[in-house]
Amino acid sequence: MFTDKSIKGLKAKPSAYRLYEKGPDKGFGVKVTPAGSVTFFIQYAGPDGKQKFASLGRYPSISLSEARDKCRELRREIDRGIDPQSRIELRLGSVADLFDYYIKHMVDSGKRTFEKVEADLHYNCKDILDLQAKDVTPAHIRKILHTIISRGSNVQANRIRSYLRRAFELGVYHDNDPKNLSNDFTFQIQTNPVDAIPKDTSAEVAGERALSFSEIKVLWNETCLLEQFHLATKLLLLYGCRSWELCGAMKHEFDFDTMIWSAPPERVKNERWLILPITPLAKKLLDKLWPYSGNSDYLFPSRYNEEKPIHKTSLAHAITRISSIDTFTPRDLRRTVKTRMGEIGIEKSIRDRIQNHALNDVSSKHYDRYDYLQEKRSALLKWENHLIELNGDKNT
C-alpha cells in the first residue's frame, strides 16, 4: 500500500516509470517523471479492450487519500461501462504543471542541468506554484526577482528570470502543439509575463581578474586552507580547468599507467571529452590528495556522504578565507592560467585545447580529430617548470 512516506521517497530515473499499488483499488498507481514529479493515475481497459490511463492529479497538490477516493469513483464508472476519458474536461494548468512541462522539455532535449533548474525554480518561486499559470503577471515575477536581489544574488536573479521566461514561452505554445493533446491540462497563456521584466545586464560583466605571478607564489604557499582545498587550488593553477571538472572528478578518470586524465562529456561544460596528461607535478599533488578520499569513488567526496562529491560551491567558499591576496574566485584561476601561460610563450591554440575550449572553425569542428596530447604535455611541462621555479621548491 502507498503511504505519504513511500511516495516522498520515490527517486527519479532517466526515464519515466509507473508503480502500481498492490491493494483493493485495481489499477491505482503513480507515475514518476525524470524530473521527479509524481502523478496519480488509474489504469483500465477501454471499450475496445486496449489499456488506458486516466490522470488523478499531481502529488502533493492532490493528497494520497483524495487520489484514492477519485480512483474508486472512476472505477465505479468504469464498471458501469463509462470511459473516464470520454468526459474528461481539460483543467487549467498551474505554475507547478508549467515547471514540470519545462523540465520534461529539458530532459527530452538532453539538457544536463534540469535538476538544478527544477530545484532553483521550486525554491525561489514557491509562492506561485499553486497559481494557474495564465494568472501570473509581471508583478509576480518582479516580486520573485526582488526577493533574490535583496539577498545580494543579482546573477541568480538573472538566471531565474531566464528560466521563467523559457517556461512561460513553452507554455504559450503548449496548447497548440499536437504532441500535447494527451495532456489533461491547458495553460491558456496569452502573453509571457517575463517579457516586461528587464534583465540586469550590469550583474554579469565578464571577469577581468587574473592573479599576478607574485600572487600565484603567495597562493601556492598559503597556509589557511585545508590541505585538500589547497591541493585543489594548486591543481587548478596547473591545469586551468573548470573547478567542477576537478572537484567532481572520479578516481577512475586518472590512469596512472598511461598518465592521462580523462573527464567524460557528461561532466564537461561543452560535452566533449577533457583529455589532459598527468604531469610529474600533477602526480605528486594527486598522490598527496588521494588518501583524503578514503574508499570513495570521488577524488573530493562529500564530508557527510562519500558516495557523492563535494558541493560545487565548496572550493569557492573555502578560498574566501584567504586574506593574503585580493579576492578571487575559482574561475579567476582559469583566467590566470590562460593569461600567464601566454606570457611565457605558450601558443593560444594549445592553451585553448588544454582548457578544452570549443573551437568553432570548420576544420576543428568537423574534421580535426587529433587529440594534441603531445602538444598539451609539452606546454603543461613548460608551465609546470615555471611554477616550480617561481615557488623555489622542487618538492612542491
108 shares a domain with 72: no
AA letter at 106? M
In the chain, how many domains are there? 3
Residues 318, 225 within the same domain: yes
Residue 60: cis peptide before it, omega within 30 degrees of 0: yes
171, 78 Cβ separation under 8 angstroms: no
Question: Cα–Cα distances in Å, from 302 out to 226, 228, 321, 330?
Answer: 14, 12, 20, 19
C-alpha cell at 219: 597562493
Is the residue at 34 inside a domain?
yes
Beta strands in the chain (DSSP E): 17-20, 28-32, 38-45, 51-59, 91-92, 185-186, 254-255, 260-263, 274-277
* Domain shared by 72 and 130, yes or no: no
Same domain, 329 and 189: no
Give the β-pairing of 185-186 and 91-92: parallel
| Residue 232, C-alpha cell as written in the block | 585543489
Q: Supply the range of the domain harboring residue 309.
A: 213-391
**Pair 150, 276 in one domain:** no
**Residue-wise pLDDT tens digits, 18-41:** 999 988 899 999 999 887 889 999
Domain final residue, candidates 181, 204, 227: 204
Give, in degrees to the nearest 5, the angle at Cα 334 between 333 and 340. Answer: 80
Whether residue 126 has pLDDT greater than 50:
yes
What pLDDT sits at residue 365? 53
Q: 204, 222, 257: which is the final residue of a domain?
A: 204
- Which pLDDT value is given to residue 298? 96
> Do the Cβ atoms of 47 and 61 come closer than 8 Å?
no
CATH code of the domain covering residue 52:
3.30.160.390
363 in the same domain as 234: yes
Residue 293 lies in a domain: yes
In a domain, 356, yes or no: yes
- pLDDT of 287 reads 97
Note the residue count of the chain.
Answer: 396
What is the distance between the terminal CA atoms of the chain, rounded to a whole angstrom? 60
3-state SS assignment for residue 291 = helix
Inside any domain, residue 121: yes
Same domain, 126 and 179: yes
Mean pLDDT of 139-157: 91
CA dist 371 and 266 (Å) reads: 19
| Rounded distance between C-alpha atoms, residue 288 and residue 132, angstroms | 55
- CATH code, 145: 1.10.150.130
Q: What is the mean pLDDT of residues 49-54?
A: 86
d(CA 243, CA 334): 8
Whether residue 173 lies inside any domain: the answer is: yes
pLDDT of 302 > 50? The answer is yes
Q: Please check whether residue 344 lies inside any domain of the structure.
A: yes
Report the mean per-residue pLDDT for the chain: 89
Alpha-carbon gap, residue 36 to 108, rounded angstroms: 14
Q: Could you tell me which of 16, 11, 35 has the C-alpha nearest to residue 115?
A: 35
Mark whether 83 and 99 lie in a shared domain.
no
- Say whether both 32 and 131 belong to one domain: no
Name the DSSP letter for residue 341: H
pLDDT digits (tens, 9 = 90+) for 238-289: 999 999 999 999 999 999 999 999 999 888 888 889 999 999 999 999 999 9
- Digit-coded pLDDT (tens) for 323-379: 899 989 898 999 999 999 999 999 999 999 999 986 655 555 544 557 889 999 999
Residue 396: inside a domain, yes or no?
Answer: no
CATH (domain of 276): 1.10.443.10
Q: Which distant-in-sequence residues (6+ apart) come within 8 Å of 96 by Cβ?
A: 58, 61, 129, 130
Provide the pLDDT for residue 55: 86
Q: 337 lies in a domain? A: yes
Q: Is residue 279 a contact partner of residue 381, using CB atoms and an 8 Å limit?
A: yes
Nearest to 84 by CA among 46, 51, 57, 58: 46
- Strand, helix or coil for residue 314: helix
User: Which residue among 88, 111, 140 closes a domain?
Assistant: 88
pLDDT recorded at residue 88:
54
pLDDT confidence of residue 361: 56
